[in-house]
Amino acid sequence: MTIAVGDTLPEATFMTMTDKGPAPLPSSELFGGKTVVLFALPGAFTPTCSAKHVPGYLANADALKARGVDTIACLSVNDAFVMGAWGKDQGVGDKILMLADGSADFTRKLGLELDLSGFGMGLRSKRYALIARDGKVEVLSVEPNPSALDVSAAEAVLKQL
Contact by Cβ (8 Å): 100, 80: yes
What torsion do the CA atoms of 75, 80, 86, 89 make, to the nearest 10 degrees?
140
Which residue in 25, 41, 44, 49 is the catalytic one?
Answer: 49
Contact by Cβ (8 Å): 129, 156: yes
Handedness of CA 57, 61, 65, 66 (dihedral sign): negative
74 given a catalytic annotation: no
Give the residue from 131, 115, 105, 138 showing the smallest Cα distance to 42.
115
Give the residue from 94, 89, 93, 65 showing the smallest Cα distance to 78.
89
Cβ neighbors of 50 (< 8 A, separation 6 or more) are: 44, 86, 89, 90
The residues that are catalytic are 49
